[in-house]
Structure 1
């Protein structure tokens, strides 16, 4: 019974309130919608550079790799890794079993040549006196010439065998590696010494074909080693890809490389793409629809959606090749209420809100 009385009381209060509102003409206030507030910037003309990081290796500018000219046994090693050597200095001796044979052949050829030369001298006197015919004399002349040729060939072969046996440094420099010891057996396919020439060192690295097309000799490269930055210059770009890696080797010159050890790895940073004096906008102001880039612009209180032709971009700016002009106001703030023809208010730094509230 009490619940029914309470419900009747509440209903009466509500009814009375409705009647009073209608009588007094009271209206519930409705909050007016406000326009989205955006910030804008004008496109800027500037330069965008993209950099690629690589790893390079310090190498001598001149490197000679030495292999034996003939197989044999190492009988003497006259230099070791780390030694500084002069051009023509003996590095090692290899017994090729051919030096003595070549010397014997040369000695025999020398004896034959001397005998033929002596005989030709005697025959010349007889030929002058008429005791020897022209034909006989010419035979002695030919024999002397043949023996001289044979001797010169034997001597050259002996000298070659000696050079094959006595390995000497072709340049002045530092021995980077020595892979032989006394009594080792070596063949013509073995690399026994690596010598770096005296002078500047270079940095070598490799590029993909795509990256190779974007760099040129003379381009600047930043070199970082142990926290220190140096500037280098691309001096050479190979035109042929490596058979194993498919990459193109390049060489970078440094002004001072005395403190850099051969074989040290360094970090490289080179400009792989550049757009000079182009129209740019902040990357955060660019949106995509079906992979097509666009921006919102502000014009006298109205938002416009404009598709653009985009170029390269870095972490802050994007190149615009077409679609907008330098004097346009590009919206840099996002709002779900932005669309073609939408109304908006703009606030730039230090300025008051522009535009009107929706009616």
Structure 2
């Protein structure tokens, strides 16, 4: 290449560089802070030196108020919300089977039976023992076991009753005689008064009255004495009769008090034995506790059924649930009634948390159960992703995460536009997602947060808003 051609090429290159510099001075555009951004650099001046104190053109955004949540994904297992393993309560040979796996059953349906021969014999023996115990107690309580003692009491009562009736009749006869009790009382009073009058004044007149009153009194005294004997005999006979009755009642109450507890224990023991035998017979017939689908059947006709092995598993698939395990930190953010999202393939379904175990399982996680809200095609036993909100904030003030910068101390801050300058404001953050962050302190809904990135953009830098921003 000759020297003339080299000189021409150099001159062309210089012209191209000069043209590019002029174009940069006229654009003045800046990009966002988080990615490929407009530089916003000022071009060289007419003399070839950089322009000084030229404002950086920036974009801004206002914080928005939104509901923000932070979610965590888990793997869960779908199952019927209500599922029961059925164990026979009585071991023995299976004598009948009524349902197979896959069939629908209703609550109360008879599933299978176990040989009840021995149980029915035991029931008959318990019934005989129970009936005999009741008869023995009836005999004891009626007093037949103390017949001689009772006969003596009854004989004493009868003797006292007869004596009482005779004394009553004699008194009635005495009352019907000529003896007048009221007349006797008058004469006795006149005699006592005459005695007192004579004692006060011993005169012939008082002495005469005393003798006359005394004659009348002693004349009636014998009749009164006879009458009083009848009264006394009646009163004594009546007292003897009442005492005989009372002694008999005391004896009976003592007998009942001493033996009632023993009788009741005997009755209860016999009844418990009978009821236990009756239940043993009932336990040879096994019924469905819930309605649903027979998931598994583990018994066979004519083979032995064990109380230690599940015979049937029945699931009510009207409501399906999903069970997943959560860490201690995660379980503290979940509550009964929270909604989670269940995803399987391209399908997504909502579920409501209905149970949160308070005890960790063998791997240190806490089982959580959620019922699927709507009908879903998910089958028992399949695995699915469960998405749960582990943190949430309602009506949160949020900004894009790529507007946030961290200083040397790790404190977050943003640049906001204020009166033609970029102002650095430290902020306090709450929930942060991939796209947005909650600001709890530092900004208001009117803050103009700068979204443009520029190498010279810093606290106090002159800035201007782009047209239309």
Fold in common (TM above 0.5):
yes
Find the residue that maps to 2:453 and give its secondary structure: coil
CA distance in 2, matches of 1:88, 1:277: 52
2:59 to 39, 44, 60: 39
Whether contact under 8 Å (1:203, 1:251) holds in the other structure is: yes
Matched, 1:83 2:106: no
Bigger proportion of residues as strand: 1
Verify: 1:104 aligned to 2:121, yes or no: yes
Give matches, 1:49-128, under 5 Å.
49-74=69-94, 76-94=96-114, 99-112=116-129
Q: Distance in 1 between matches of 2:436 and 2:94?
A: 65
Tell me the residue number matched to 1:341. Answer: 460
Checking the alignment, whether the CA contact within 8 Å between 1:109 and 1:150 is kept in structure 2 is: no
Q: Which runs of 5+ in 2 are unaligned?
A: 1-45, 152-250
Q: TM-score, normalised by structure 2?
A: 0.55
Q: Secondary structure at the match of 1:195?
A: strand
Match of 1:330 among 449, 456, 459: 449
**Does 2:433 correspond to 1:287?**
no
What is the SS of the residue equivalent to 1:200? strand
Q: CA deviation at 1:277?
A: 2.5
Distance 2:143 2:428 in 1: 102
Aligned length: 317
CA shift in 2, pair 1:327/1:122, >3 Å: closer
CA distance in 2 between partners of 1:299 and 1:143 (Å): 98
Q: Is the 8 A contact 2:96 2:113 kept in 1?
A: yes
What is aligned with 2:361?
243
Cα distance, 1:85–1:276 mapped onto 2, change above 3 Å: closer
Higher relative contact order (CA 8 A, sep 6+): 2
Calculate the aligned-residue CA RMSD, in Å. Answer: 4.1
Give, in angstroms, the shift of residue 173 of structure 1: 2.3
SS in 2 for 1:103: helix
- Aligned 1:204-219 pairs, distance under 5 A: 204-219=323-338
Q: CA contact under 8 A between 1:237 and 1:248: conserved in structure 2?
A: no
1:139-186 CA-to-partner distances (Å, cap 9, x unmatched) read: xx9999888666644432333333443322222222122233346555
Q: How many angstroms apart in 2 are the aligned matches of 1:183 and 1:231? A: 46
CA 1:278–1:84: 2 relative to 1, 3 Å: closer
Distance 1:342 1:115, change over 3 A: closer
* Structure 1 residue 284, shift from structure 2 partner: 0.7
- Counterpart contact for 2:350–2:374, Cα < 8 Å: no
Tell me the SS of whatever aligns to 1:205: strand
Is 1:306 the counterpart of 2:400 in the alignment? no
CA contact 1:112–1:147 (8 Å) conserved in 2:
no
1:273 and 2:391 matched: yes
CA apart distance, 1:286: 0.6
Q: TM-score, with normalisation over the residues of structure 1?
A: 0.69
d(CA) in 2 for partners of 1:93 and 1:221?
Answer: 43
**Residue 232 of structure 1 contacts residue 253 of structure 1 at CA under 8 Å; is this kept in 2?**
yes
Asked which structure has the greater CA Rg, the reply is 2
2:282 paired with 1:166: no
Contact 2:81 2:321 in 1 (8 A): yes
Partner in structure 2 of residue 191 of structure 1: 310
Contact 2:75–2:383 under 8 Å retained in 1: yes
Greater helix fraction, Structure 1 or Structure 2: 2
Query: 1:339 and 1:308 mapped to 2: Cα distance?
Result: 16
Check the 8 A contact 1:116/1:144 in 2, yes or no.
Answer: no
